[in-house]
Structure 1
């Protein structure tokens, strides 16, 4: 049952992304082109998503636990650190250059468009490089600690 619900939620998400135009890189780039052919319509899409998420979280978090998990997994770290800001910056620059965000690229992957496939491949490569570098940095900091 969990897999069926996950699949249906994914279909709903992908349909919404596609219908809103967020899977269309030209529309996304025009949203960011404030000085040129600016298209503010994605701002309404994002604003609507924020309102729905705000209400949804308020309703869901009233429950004692999720339907398919023993507890909610809510991040405890609320700090704005260099890692978060760097990642957000890279995400935003990549989104503005490519015209895709991961949420819009995954449903568009079904088109088998070479640009989409290339973007998703680069996305996966970036995630793998980040994982390797994070593991390397963690191992390096552990070896730099003096033994007690």
Structure 2
């Protein structure tokens, strides 16, 4: 049941990403092009996501535990360190260059466009590279 629930949530997320245009790199890049063909529509997508999260957390977190787990898995760290800031910068640069957010790229894999597969492969390579670098620095 847990896997089925995760699948259904993923499908809903993918449909939302597709409908909102977040899987279209041209739309995302136009959002960043404030001096040219600026498309502010993604502000509404992000604002909608913030509203759902704001009210969703208030609705769900008072429960003693999630339906399919023994406890909520929430981040506990509050430190703004170099890893967090550096990762945020790399994430933003990658999003601005490619026009894909990793969350938007996964549903876009269904289009079969080679650039999407290259982007997802680069994200996976970046994750493994970050792990190796992090282990060597520790």
| Same fold (TM > 0.5) | yes
Regions of 4+ moved over 6 Å: none
Q: Is 1:54 paired with 2:58? A: no
- CA-atom RMSD in angstroms: 0.7
Deviation track 1:75-115 (CA, whole Å, cap 9, x = no partner) reads 11111111111100110010010000001000001111011
User: Which residue is 1:3 aligned to?
Assistant: 3
Pairing 1:134–2:134 present = yes
Q: Give the SS at the match of 1:73.
A: coil
TM-score, normalised on structure 2? 0.98
Shift of 1:135: 1.4
Give 1:73's aligned residue.
Answer: 73
Could you list the runs of 5+ residues in structure 1 that have no partner in the other structure? Answer: 139-148
Cα drift, residue 136 of structure 1: 1.4
Q: 2:120 matched to 1:110?
A: no
